[in-house]
Amino acid sequence: MIRKIKSDILASIKNKRINVFILFLLSAFVILIFTKLSKDYTNTIIFNIDKVNVPQENVILNDSNTVLAITLKTHGFKWLDYYFSKPKIKVDFSKDVYKRDSVFIWSKSKAFLKNTQFDKNVELLNISPDTLVFLYDVNLIKRVPVKLNATIGFAPGYDVSETYVLEPDSVQIIGPKVLVSNINNIETDSVYLSEVRSNLSQTIKLKLPENNKELTFSTKNVILKAYVEKFTEGTLKIPVNVINVPPDRSLKFFPKEVNVSYSVSLSNFNSINSTDFKVVCDYNKISNNQSVLIPELVKIPKLVKNAKINQKHIEFIITE
């Protein structure tokens, strides 16, 4: 028993010595790392180009130079930032470049004058290459309509009182002429609604062209709006007019009036009257041996829907 206790005590002391040794070893390592990182180092690193304020009428082509090798002197902590992230250098097309022979040119002399993209602890030593040449093409700015792609069903007795409204109803596209000129409209994503009985106000995504990295769109969403009302049925008697009858002929026809049925919102029901409709029969459309005229609804008020003539034929006789 005594031997076991003695053995446990010795093992515990030994483990403590090992733990203290490991702790001192880690502390020495951390101090060494901080000492190394606190020192200044000179190195060259590759920076990607971040192009800003490119004129809207121009697009920078993909085959332009896109990187700079920049030599810097700074402490180790800053170098860690550069190694663990993708460093970028801004090229401002409103002040850092100039046009010559259909290209944009950037030179390092101007970059050395304004070392504002690095903090005070970073010393800029060299930039390579001395110049960057950006090839560009002329952008086309075009506005195209938005095409609604929707299937909307209403609850019984309900309908949209006016046309659907898209806000905005068009999209401005900016990009290379070869791409933009082929776009004539932008469709919305498919929308399926049923049993609608209240006003609509819904955001819909646009179905933008694939591989559109070189294109800029003024918006990627539109709002679908519609005023939904309770509808009712109406019927009016409308006079029939026969047109294009030859001067040497006279017609007698029956009936003189036809029933026109339609659907209209309750709020507009009383504003609809017979003079808002017009029904005609065209004599020129009579085929050989035809003994009836076909009535056509040629005038319909904007406020009504589903207007139709209940009589399909008008009987007539020719009197010389």
Does 232 have pLDDT greater than 60? Answer: yes
Q: Give pLDDT tens digits for 57-95.
A: 787 876 556 788 877 777 656 666 666 677 788 888 888
Q: Of all helices (H) and strands (E), which one includes residue 3?
A: helix 2-38
Mean pLDDT, range 267-282, rounded to an integer: 93
pLDDT in tens, 118-134: 767 777 777 778 888 88
Higher pLDDT, 30 or 51: 51
**Between vectors from CA 70 to CA 65 and to CA 75, what angle results, nearest 5°?**
150
What whole-number percentage of the chain has pLDDT above 70?
A: 78
Please give the pLDDT value at position 131: 83
Return phi, psi of residue 37, to 5°.
-70, -20
Pairing of strands 292-293, 58-60: unpaired
pLDDT at 97 over 80: yes
| pLDDT tens-digit series, residues 37-64 | 456 667 787 888 888 888 877 878 765 5
The alpha carbons of the chain give a radius of gyration, in whole angstroms, of: 40
Is 260's pLDDT higher than 90? yes
* pLDDT at residue 113, as a whole number: 47
Residue 158: pLDDT band (50, 70, 90) is very high
Residues 10-31 have a mean pLDDT of 56
Mean pLDDT score, 16-41? 56
pLDDT digits (tens, 9 = 90+) for 172-218: 998 888 788 889 999 999 999 999 999 999 999 999 988 777 788 99
pLDDT tops 70 at residue 26:
no
Maximal CA-CA distance, the chain: 144
Residues 3-14: tens digit of each pLDDT: 555 565 555 555
The torsion defined by the Cα of 76, 82, 83 and 84, in degrees rounded to 10, comes to 110
- Per DSSP, the residues of 126-150 read EEESSEEEEEEEEEEEEEEEEE--E
Question: Judging by beta carbons within 10 Å of its beta carbon (0-12, 13-18, 19+), is residue 211 exposed, middle or buried?
Answer: exposed
Flag whether pLDDT at 108 surpasses 90.
no
**11 residue type, one letter:** A
- What's the chain's average pLDDT? 81
What pLDDT does residue 199 have?
Answer: 93
Q: What is the pLDDT of residue 175?
A: 84
Q: How far apart are CA 28 and CA 320, in angstroms?
A: 123
Contact partners, residue 277, CB within 8 Å, separation at least 6: 236, 238, 260, 297, 299, 300, 301, 307
pLDDT: is 33 or 74 the higher one? 74
Dist CA 272 CA 268 (whole Å): 7
pLDDT band at 221 (very low <50, low <70, confident <90, very high): very high
- Structural domains in the chain? 40-137 (2.170.120), 148-226 (2.170.120), 231-319 (2.170.120.30)
